Structure 1
Amino acid sequence: MRFSFLTGTLLASVISVSHAGYDTHPRFAEFAAEVEEEYQIPAAEVKKWLSQAERMDSVLEAIQRPAEGVLNWDRYQDIFLTRKRIEAGRNFLETHKDTLADAEQKYGVPKEIIGAIIGVETFYGTRQGGYRVLDSLSTLAFDYPKRPLFWRELKAMFALAEAEGVDPGTIKGSYAGAMGYGQFIPTSYLAYAVDGDGDGKRDLWGNPVDAIHSVANYFSEHGWRTGEPVTQRVTVAGDSYQALVNTGRKPDSTVGALTSAGVTLSVPSAAERPANLMMLEGKQGEEYWLGEYNFYVITQYNHSKLYAMAVYQLSEALTQ
């Protein structure tokens, strides 16, 4: 049965909105046709909702200055590696220990990694974002052509709303359209969200069981290697290592090749394991780190190595 977006109460509220909306945008017909073809949602329903979507200049400003793009590691870590976030994380792990244990057993992803993701993203579900996703994604899809991925995300938002029986006009999230405890964008929600408690719903906004299982499923589907390390601090010597520093997110070398180039490990690791060498600007100057495959998997959630390092170090702090 099709979920009708046009609920009476919400429709009555949008009639009073006095702005043009995105249903008058020159690319609206193209967008609506794609939604209908890909998700079988009638263009008339898309039009009704985009007619009430508002352009948000604050979204356009925020998308151009993410913390990962303007801060070095010395300042970035101060956002996430705080005593308050660590203590709240330990409480979260204790409160949801059974659910986290179940997810770890099912997906092979450590409970502290799951908890750290949720801690970094939303302070354990308490800061999920106050933007109406209909507005933020419409703004980015139609008025920020530099990132065409938001066009896809707005289409997926309509599909998500229908699949989960949620009114598009009531969905809240970040300025970039990320939602729930783990801040899943709509395409990730459709692909990786799971019903963790078997109640027939995938609720990542209000159900921590679904959220925990969904984060674990995301990492499992992106290749998390159970039992393998994430990263470690290393030292460097000579000149050979320099060409291997910060070459990309995905490991393009091996532990053995890096050690041969002058990298000294702090913890032994198998020579054949894929790895790369990272340099971060820390509080005491340059820091060198070995990024193994699971570090790369964390960057699949957010492409920034600063983000992945914050998740890793928070995960370590949660179990100390």
Structure 2
Amino acid sequence: MLLPLSMLIVAPVWADEHPGQAQLVQEVAKDTGKDPAALNALLDGAKKQQSILDAISRPAEAKPWSEYRPIFITPARIDEGIRFYRDHRALLEKIGAQYGVAPEYIVAILGVETFYGRNTGNYKVLDALVTLGLYYPPRATFFRGELKTLLELPDNMLAGPLDTLTGSYAGAQGWGQFMPDSIRDYGVDEDGDGRIDLQNSLPDIFASVANYFAKHGWVKGGPVAARAQPDAAAKPLTVKDSAPQWPVEQLEAWGYGPLQHLDPGALSSMQTFQGASGSEYWFTFQNFYVITRYNRSPMYAMAVHQLAQAIAEGVNSPESATQ
């Protein structure tokens, strides 16, 4: 297959072109004791890629919900999620119980992120983080921090040699697309082999996603989202993020009626999405907020939620039980 020209035009990164590299190497060497020459060799071998800069400038989250949802909620992704859950039911349910996280949400994260491990990304992780840390001023601070963390991670927290790792254009790795700081803070060696391998070990992959949710405050058995129907006089709301801030009964008093029974005292937020048939209003709860710690877009969290619900419905259907 022919690659786009933008993916073929790359330029080597040299320390003397980027004064920040010397400081970065000094910081990592001081923090870890790693050899500065070896660190410089790694960074000198990285490549700036214009296609990475192009990709980060057009994220899917810039689309409206009516266009975003069909990317992730498809018959193929649902069917494959049902099969994947069924094939790994024992392990998923064991880890779900261990961390208090519904297994269908572990599966849905993998479905949205990488289509259950099929598309984990073909960019060199070093290329991605060097490109964005040195050549993308709008978020250079964040990506430089991730590059520093990557260089500081011990070998047993990576799926292989650092200069061989591949991932997304943003430097995310493995089936769950963990950034380096997430590997450091939430990665789990579930299979007990002495390595956190988010590319090849399903126990490590499942447990790391579940641990991420649990550490961010997932409520076992708690609600995620529920449809609302505003009346004509509903109070306009200004919602900064999806952190729960109002009891359901307060939102009801303001004119937002739930379409199913909800605990009146449960803390919630109200999200609005521009769907194919007009505005959609949703009560969202702590577990929805937790999903947005994985990706801050409320549309992402809703896609994960709806995919998880579809997978659970399929897995628990009588037809599924006989397969």
Provide the TM-score with structure 2 as the length reference.
0.90
Unaligned runs of 5+ in 2: 1-9, 314-323
Q: For 1:59 and 1:154, how far apart are their aligned partners in 2?
A: 15
Matched, 1:274 2:267: yes
- Taking the TM superposition and a 5 Å limit, the aligned residue runs for 1:148-159 are 148-159=141-152
Matched, 1:222 2:216: yes
Deviation larger for 198-207 or 155-164: 155-164
Find the partner of 1:35 among 18, 28, 35. Answer: 28
* Residues 48 and 86 of structure 1, relative CA distance in 2, 3 Å threshold: same
Q: Which residue number corresponds to residue 258 of structure 1?
A: 251
Q: Which residue number corresponds to residue 233 of structure 1?
A: 227
Q: Deviations over 1:181-226 (max 9, x none)?
A: 1000010011101011222221100111210111000000000001
* Residues 253 and 22 of structure 1, relative CA distance in 2, 3 Å threshold: farther
Q: For 1:269 and 1:278, how far apart are their aligned partners in 2?
A: 16
Counterpart of 1:32, as a letter, is V
Partner of 2:47, secondary structure, is coil
For this pair of structures, how many residues does the alignment match? 301
Q: For 1:19 and 1:280, how far apart are their aligned partners in 2?
A: 41
Counterpart of 1:76, as a letter, is Y
Q: Per-residue deviation at 1:31?
A: 1.1
- Taking the TM superposition and a 5 Å limit, the aligned residue runs for 1:160-199 are 160=153, 162-164=155-157, 166-199=160-193
Matched, 1:100 2:101: no
Q: For 1:158 and 1:216, how far apart are their aligned partners in 2?
A: 25
Equivalent pair of 2:11/2:48 in contact (CA under 8 Å):
no
* Residues 239 and 107 of structure 1, relative CA distance in 2, 3 Å threshold: same
Q: Which residue number corresponds to residue 54 of structure 1?
A: 47
Q: Deviations over 1:26-76 (max 9, x none)?
A: 21111112212333323222101011110011111111110002x111111
* Residues 22 and 66 of structure 1, relative CA distance in 2, 3 Å threshold: farther
Q: Per-residue deviation at 1:306?
A: 0.6
Equivalent pair of 1:280/1:286 in contact (CA under 8 Å):
yes
Q: Which residue number corresponds to residue 15 of structure 1?
A: none
Q: Deviations over 1:255-275 (max 9, x none)?
A: 121111011011222222221
Equivalent pair of 2:12/2:48 in contact (CA under 8 Å):
no
Equivalent pair of 2:156/2:196 in contact (CA under 8 Å):
no
Equivalent pair of 2:242/2:271 in contact (CA under 8 Å):
no
Unaligned runs of 5+ in 1: 1-17
Equivalent pair of 2:156/2:194 in contact (CA under 8 Å):
no
Q: Could you tell me the percent identity over the aligned residues?
A: 40
Matched, 1:202 2:196: yes
Provide the TM-score with structure 1 as the length reference.
0.90
Q: For 2:198 and 2:53, how far apart are their aligned partners in 1?
A: 25
Over the aligned positions, Cα root-mean-square deviation in angstroms equals 1.5
Matched, 1:297 2:290: yes
Q: For 2:157 and 2:218, how far apart are their aligned partners in 1?
A: 27
Find the partner of 1:81 among 73, 78, 83. Answer: 73
Equivalent pair of 2:11/2:49 in contact (CA under 8 Å):
no
Q: For 2:112 and 2:209, how far apart are their aligned partners in 1?
A: 13
Q: For 2:115 and 2:246, how far apart are their aligned partners in 1?
A: 35
Equivalent pair of 1:256/1:271 in contact (CA under 8 Å):
yes
Equivalent pair of 1:161/1:167 in contact (CA under 8 Å):
no
Equivalent pair of 1:234/1:263 in contact (CA under 8 Å):
yes
Q: Per-residue deviation at 1:159?
A: 2.2
Q: For 1:146 and 1:219, how far apart are their aligned partners in 2?
A: 28
